[in-house]
A and B are shown apart, each in its own frame.
Chain A
Amino acid sequence: MSIRTPLAKVRGLGSAKDGTHHWWMQRLTSVALIPLCIWLVYSLLGLGMANQATVAAWMKSPVQALLMTAFLGATIYHSKLGIQVIIEDYVHAHFSKNALLMMNAFGFIILFAMAFMAIITLHLS
């Protein structure tokens, strides 16, 4: 039984307008990132100060390319969610807040597209 008034429901009151999904996705990506971060640190230590050829060779392996895709997907989504709360907490002017929230969402989507394209290109090179 919800204690929200009909007006509150219609207006979606509160800075974020809704929260549970965001909270859960943040936890889900965090849990996924525990093993993925360990993998990344282990891989980067093995790679050392890499040159372009070593990076390309690393991404040729299907498993490594898959793990990199998973790592960047989880990280980018996790970052998007985190920056979103920072914007919601500190920016209150209607126009600025919504503009920044949109730029945040689009920015991280483009970032993942770039990551995915780069991984595929290196993998198939």
Chain B
Amino acid sequence: MAENPSTPDLYNANRPLSPHLTIYKPQISSMLSISHRITGAFLSAGAVIFVIWLWSAAYHPNCFATLAAAGKTWWGMGLLMAWSFAFFYHFTNGIRHLIWDMGYGFELDAANRSGIITVAGSIIITAFVWYMLLTK
């Protein structure tokens, strides 16, 4: 039977495979890397909502009012907090990436240290910004 070249049997595997994600020890390097991708995707969705919010401000006052009201509900606030944490994490890890691009910080101890600073920094900045916002 001729194989479809656009989906080779590689992808329709009914054969025994070695374990990977289930056995590989999670590390600062890998966990922060996938988190950078996940926060990036989550923020892209947030960007869509942000543009919809701006578009509503310009053209649809009713829609804007609905969005503003949603932002004040418990789940709306939760979503905004999640977005802001994703934002500050992606921002600080992004700077970590740019530092790597300049050639610095590849040694294992340096990379682990910068990783810890990134996560701690994101949590602290998110908490600080929300403190400022809620005590306004």
Contacts and interface: CB of A to CB of B under 8 A. Distances in A.
Interface of A: 27, 30-31, 33-34, 37, 41, 45, 48-52, 55-56, 68, 72, 75-76, 79, 82-83, 86, 92-95, 111, 114-115, 117-119, 121-122, 125
Given A27-B101, A30-B94, A49-B68, A86 B48 contact: no
Chain B interface mostly: helix
Contacts of A121: 58-59
Given A72-B51, A79-B47, A94 B6 contact: yes
Contacts of A115: 51, 54-55
B98 interface: yes
Given A86-B41, A122-B54, 9 more contacts: A37-B91, A45-B133, A72-B51, A82-B44, A111-B48, A115-B55, A118-B51, A118-B54, A118-B57
9 contacts: A56-B57, A72-B47, A76-B47, A83-B41, A93-B6, A94-B5, A115-B54, A118-B59, A119-B58
A49 B80 CA distance: 12
Interface residues of B, number: 36
Contact of A83 (B44, B65, B98, B132): B44
Given A83-B44, A111-B47, A122 B58 contact: yes
B51 A55 contact: no
B41 A82 contact: yes
A114 B55 contact: yes
Nearest to B65: A52
Chain A interface mostly: helix
Contacts of B64: 52, 55
A95 to B, nearest CB: 6
B128 to A, nearest CB: 10
B129 to A, nearest CB: 7
Contacts of B37: 82, 86
Given A79-B43, A92-B7, A111-B47, A49 B55 contact: no
A31 B94 CA distance: 9
Interface in B93-126: 94-95, 97-98, 101
B11 interface: yes
B135 to A, nearest CB: 11
Interface in B48-94: 48, 50-52, 54-55, 57-59, 61, 64-65, 68, 71-72, 87, 91, 94
